[in-house]
Amino acid sequence: MSQARPSLRCEALSQDWRLEVAKEIGLTPVFAPTHEDFTLLLLYLDGRTPSYGEEVLHVILFLYPYVPLSASPSVFIPFSSDIERSLASLKEKGLIEEKMEFRSGRYVNSIRLTDRGVAEARKVYSAFSNSWVLLNGLVLRKGADVIAELEALKKTYNDKSPLELLKVLASKAESEGEAFVKRFRLQSERQEKLVLGIAKQLSRDLKLLTRETYF
């Protein structure tokens, strides 16, 4: 008979322990959102504005420090297989739909909630609003604060071009250094240094390019 892997069992026990402590000190109810919950919530916020490009979802949830993502640096931006799986699952359930749109001089793959998706996202929004949210299996925060922070990120970065998103990420890597790169969970210190070095140089090049374009 198959047995659960020790690491998964320990993780579940650890989370259960934290939930019990939260109950004892009056931090209830506690909600532990999944990647699908975060995706639905983001699409629901800011008046249910669509995500103008899948890359926006990857970037926002990567930048929000409390989402436990498995992300790697793609050619241009962070890519998370967790978000990819969530989008595929939500689409299969009929909760989201995708449509190519022409916006701001470019074609974007807009991702929006269906009517069924709106109803489901409303439940997720309510769960966040009325709970303490367990984030990364470690941090308890008021759901209302999480909603406000994610909505601010969506308003800031949604509808930005890939080049604008790349500039933001390179600038953050330059200013935050190793702390930023470690969130990619790369395989070695050498790989971290390589990615950080490229990001810093890219940030400088993009600033120069922007300045030259402006003048």
Which domain does 153 fall in, by range? 34-130+142-159
Q: What is the pLDDT of residues 65-108, one digit of tens each?
A: 899 888 776 656 788 899 999 999 999 999 999 999 998 888 99
Query: Residue 82 corresponds to which amino acid?
Result: D
Does one domain contain both 111 and 170? no
Residues 183 and 154 in one domain: no
This prediction's pTM: 0.78
Domain identity same for 84 and 115: yes
Per-residue pLDDT averaged across 142-164, rounded? 94
Q: Which residue has the higher pLDDT, 111 or 18?
A: 111
What is residue 2's predicted lDDT score, i.e. its pLDDT? 41
For residue 84, the domain's CATH number is: 1.10.10.10
119 pLDDT band, cuts 50/70/90, is very high
- For residue 64, tell me if it sits in a domain: yes
Residues 170 and 183 placed together within one structural domain of the fold: yes
Give the pLDDT confidence score for residue 91 in this predicted structure.
98
Cα 148–Cα 149–Cα 152 angle in degrees, nearest 5: 85
Number of compact structural domains in the chain: 2
Distance CA 54, CA 182 (A): 23
22 within domain boundaries: no
Same-domain check for residues 56 and 89 = yes
CB atoms within 10 A of CB 105: 6
Answer yes or no: do 189 and 149 share one domain: no
